[in-house]
A and B are shown apart, each in its own frame.
Chain A
Amino acid sequence: MPTVSMTVNGQAVTGDIEARTLLVEYLRENLRLTGTHVGCDTSQCGACVVHVDGKSVKACTMLAAQAEGSDVLTIEGLADGDDLHPMQEAFRNNHGLQCGFCTPGMVMSAVDLLNHNKNPSEGEIREWLEGNICRCTGYHNIVKSIQEAATKM
Chain B
Amino acid sequence: MYDFNYYKPGSLADAASALAGAEDGKIVAGGMTLIPTMKQRLAQPSDLIDLAAVGDLKGISSDGSSVTIGAMTTHAEVAGSSDVQLVIPALAAVAEGIGDPQVRNCGTIGGSVANNDPAADYPAACLALNATIVTNKGEYSADDFFTGMFDTALDEDEILTAVKFPKPDKAAYMKFPNPASRYAMVGVCVAQTGGAARVAVTGAGQDGVFRASEMEAALASNFAPEALDGISVSADDLNSDIHASAEYRAHLIGVMAKRAVAAA
Q: A residues near B, CB below 8 A?
A: 2, 18-20, 22, 41-44, 46, 49, 55-58, 61-63, 65-66, 68, 109, 112-113, 128, 130-132
CB distance A56 to B36 under 8 Å?
no
CB distance B36 to A63 under 8 Å?
no
CB distance B100 to A63 under 8 Å?
no
| Other A-B pairs beyond A20-B3, A61-B32, 9, CB < 8 Å | A19-B5, A19-B48, A20-B2, A42-B36, A43-B102, A56-B102, A63-B48, A68-B8, A113-B101
Assuming the contacts A18-B3, A65-B8, asked whether A130 and B100 have C-beta atoms less than 8 A apart, the reply is: yes
From the candidates B28, B35, B180, name the one contacting A44 in the complex (CB within 8 A). Answer: B180
CB distance A56 to B101 under 8 Å?
yes
- How many residues belonging to B are interface residues under a CB distance threshold of 8 Å? 28
Contacts of A130 in B (CB 8 A): 100-101, 182
CB distance A63 to B101 under 8 Å?
no
From the candidates A19, A63, A109, name the one contacting B102 in the complex (CB within 8 A). Answer: A109
B245 to chain A, nearest CB (A): 24
CA distance in complex: A78, B4 (Å): 34
**Looking at B3, B31, B101, which has the most chain A CB atoms within 10 Å of its CB?**
B101
Mark contacts of B92-126 with chain A using CB atoms, 8 A cut-off: 1 yes-contact digit, 0 otherwise. Answer: 00000001111101100000000000000000000
A92 to chain B, nearest CB (A): 24
B248 to chain A, nearest CB (A): 23
CB distance B180 to A19 under 8 Å?
no
Chain A residue nearest to B6 (CB atoms) is: A19
Contacts of B50 in A (CB 8 A): 65-66
Contacts of B38 in A (CB 8 A): 20
CB distance B105 to A63 under 8 Å?
no
**Looking at B1, B102, B106, which has the most chain A CB atoms within 10 Å of its CB?**
B102
B137 within 8 A of A: no
CA distance in complex: A27, B48 (Å): 22
A59 to chain B, nearest CB (A): 9
